[in-house]
Structure 1
């Protein structure tokens, strides 16, 4: 039977089918971690996700003989269109993402549907997968299928790469995750750099104060917007998005896992680390009901994990490419390493994602013993 692709509406049945197809297609993969379905529904709901304040999206469902066999999203974001062309944005730039497909025929039909919608919006370049923004789950997994993703990272079947490339897409940027052991001290050179920083009276590295969560979040996001402003793919988070992300992250934010570095009293760098929530979610089947919510709340009181993930860190632009910037980064990494091991029982860290050409961050990841363990590739095509 041929594949039929249709744009879904706002009805509950269509939205449920769009979310649930991911579970059927991945249930046999031991390295896939089922997301919480409520989180996915919130991501695609304009009433809940403030991304829709500056973006528009369409969601498509593929069916064969009345049975769902795949899905895809297509997005146009005014902040992406306003971004410089050399940073992956600019007029005519549209995105697609959230792709799940039973086979190559389905994938081809879904990508064609997303491209058709983007052309209808006047887009001339298609980049994907981005689900839904660069701050969610960007990139197609092309390396690292043999182990589960960490919290807030995506996972795809190995077959998807050939299907995307068969649709005429070429890689434009790789996003790498670095794996490292943290249950033993970092190399001597790193330890000497940290010790030197500790003797510098101009430097102070502190934990965040969760009692001042909104204030601390605004401080960190201010550094982030400055530090990442020139990065490929960067779009600033709006105030509403900052509030939205803060509410989602607050339950898994721990004061001793987030550091702010100050120089002469001025906050100039930060590092956020999260316990790998996926280690707990793997057995939940995508739902907190009936009793998984209680299990999660109990676990969050004092989580014990194997892996810690560093999703975000940054140093203000004026200090980048200086020795001080590297020193601050190593100090924050070392302090969080100690807490991760002593309090949370972690033995492994993951830094990422990191842009393949971000030489400063790549160098830092390698100096602490990091090796690439997952690669997420962004593709582009002229429409």
Structure 2
């Protein structure tokens, strides 16, 4: 326990009751934002449960709640991803790198007390650098929203008040990486250059763009995530999926996967690229206020069967590293985007899509986003500080 000079008490929490208090406090903070989307409480509890989230299989995590005069006024998680420690420092993680996440605070004083406690906890475990916010895995909700508070987030995207950035920066943390998301009007056809590239690919007998086969779901998701592990292996912040995480992702994602929105690209019959697209369940979660009872479950099930009019988010795509320096990589990307765009309109009457997040220095992906005339609509920042 840490007590600040102004009677702010920082308490470590654990166990079922402590995790529930931690999650509920975050939900209270989120509800204050005008464009927040209430998430399913059960899903949020699962993310911080060591018995249910396989991230804990390679991480050490401590949750904290701040109290002033006995009342909860903030929360933070301090964590060490042991797989991230094994990666090269130039890729953003590496030896000595600890993290913080799930950051919420009532005011700047509370914010600094929480960040101080996270810093101390990490230093006690021989960490020399703190980065964040990352909650908890880099694959979940990385970064602090610094632009885009004027509209609701899509599925699996964080949403934070604008003033958090100032509090983190006044603590002495500096920006280490910026992540972008791009908004796309999918009703509008792509530029002629993209159309020519897609048409050329359609004529190439070596290339096949096919939907994910749900009858072979376990095999297909492994193909996708193994391509991802290879394609992203040199990217900033990359931490490979473990087998346990692949199994978990396969189970959690299956209900919201629509085959004609998720494509695998084959070259001479070999899977070499993929694009994953998720209908935006946040639109329905807003309508049911994030609650399954009494009738929320019915609306969610109905939406899962046919998410008409839903926005579409591209959270993941990748091309095997051996092809990334060739023109084939961008051709496959354009083809998958175009095929999915057509299907989203035909099957669900969708009007908009969102691509991201994308590292701001990922020139290849930024060029693709620019070429299809998408525009930046949200920006997230990951900060760092030497301990």
Bin of the TM-score, shorter chain as denominator length: over 0.9
Which of 2, 5, 28 aligns to 2:10? It is 5
SS in 2 for 1:45: coil
Taking only aligned residues, the RMSD between alpha carbons, in angstroms, comes to: 1.0
Q: Deviation at 1:304?
A: 1.4
SS in 2 for 1:195: helix
After superposing the two structures, state which structure 1 stretch, 233-242 or 22-31, moved more: 22-31
The corresponding residue for 1:199 is: 203
Q: Deviation at 1:11?
A: 4.2
The corresponding residue for 2:342 is: 338
Relative to 1, partners in 2 of residues 1:68 and 1:188: Cα closer, same or farther, differing over 3 Å? same
**Alpha-carbon separation, structure 2, partners of 1:309 and 1:225:** 20
Which of 148, 151, 163 aligns to 1:147? It is 151
* Conserved? CA contact 1:275–1:305, under 8 Å: no
The corresponding residue for 1:244 is: 248
The corresponding residue for 2:79 is: 75
The corresponding residue for 1:121 is: 125
* Conserved? CA contact 2:345–2:351, under 8 Å: yes
Correspondence list, 1:1-383, <5 A: 2-12=7-17, 14-383=18-387
**Alpha-carbon separation, structure 1, partners of 2:306 and 2:239:** 34
* Conserved? CA contact 1:17–1:68, under 8 Å: no
User: Deviation digits for residues 176-206 of structure 1, max 9, x if unmatched?
Assistant: 0011110021111100100010111111110
After superposing the two structures, state which structure 1 stretch, 100-109 or 133-142, moved more: 100-109
SS in 1 for 2:160: coil
**Alpha-carbon separation, structure 1, partners of 2:21 and 2:291:** 16
SS in 2 for 1:282: helix
SS in 1 for 2:298: helix
* Conserved? CA contact 2:9–2:68, under 8 Å: yes
When the two structures are superposed, what TM-score results if normalisation uses the length of structure 2?
Answer: 0.97
Q: Deviation at 1:64?
A: 1.3
After superposing the two structures, state which structure 1 stretch, 126-135 or 279-288, moved more: 279-288
**Alpha-carbon separation, structure 2, partners of 1:126 and 1:214:** 36
User: Deviation digits for residues 271-311 of structure 1, max 9, x if unmatched?
Assistant: 00000110111133333222211210111111113410000
After superposing the two structures, state which structure 1 stretch, 2-11 or 85-94, moved more: 2-11
SS in 2 for 1:219: helix
**Alpha-carbon separation, structure 2, partners of 1:361 and 1:44:** 32
Q: Deviation at 1:103?
A: 1.1
* Conserved? CA contact 2:19–2:49, under 8 Å: no
SS in 1 for 2:43: helix
User: Deviation digits for residues 199-230 of structure 1, max 9, x if unmatched?
Assistant: 11111110010111000011111111110000
